[in-house]
Amino acid sequence: MEVPIDIRGILSILPHRYPFVLIDRIIELVPHERVVGLKNVTMNEPFFQGHFPGFPVMPGVMILEAMAQAGGILANASNDQMKDGGLIFFTGLDDVRFRKPVVPGDQLTLTLTVIKMRPKVAKMAAQAHVEEQLVAQANLMATFGDVI
């Protein structure tokens, strides 16, 4: 895959659709190693209507989902099973930390690095930054293919 990958390329890889596509661009991709994606956080996000009125804060689970979607792009580039239209499913999160609120106007830089990539499972270290400040981090685990 050639980078940058714009939203059209992301939609051709991920099964997610509006309002649940949470990455806007991939700016770096090294299969089996790392991915860097961007998420532009705007007031138009549907979750800001209720989280929180008068003080909009991006929910932590949405930051984790954005990380996972960037990880899905990395898995797609790193795993032959994914290239044939396979799916990737979250199986676990470890060491999750939220360091600073993410608010409208912020741009999240999502960096995921492969810890382990096997034919059926992956583990990745994820970090989210706004500008140079770390706002969230986690280790994500996922499985490839059917869950049934």
| DSSP per-residue letters across 47-79 | GGGTS-TTS----HHHHHHHHHHHHHHHHHHH-
* 7-144: CATH class: alpha beta
Residue 1 confidence (pLDDT) = 74
For residue 48, list its beta bridge partners: none
Count of CB atoms within 10 A of residue 33's CB?
14
Among 139, 124, 96, smallest CA distance to 30 is for: 124
Helix (H, G, I), strand (E, B) or coil at 85: coil
Q: How confident is the model at residue 86 (pLDDT cuts 50, 70, 90)?
A: confident
Q: Taking 90 as the threshold, does the pLDDT of residue 123 lie above it?
A: yes
> Which residue in the list 16, 32, 51, 129 is annotated as catalytic?
51
Domain ranges of the chain: 7-144
- The whole-number pLDDT of residue 79 equals 82
CA–CA distance, 33 with 11 (Å, rounded to integer) = 22
| 51 is an active site residue | yes
Residue 84: pLDDT over 90: no
Q: Is the pTM of this model over 0.75?
A: yes
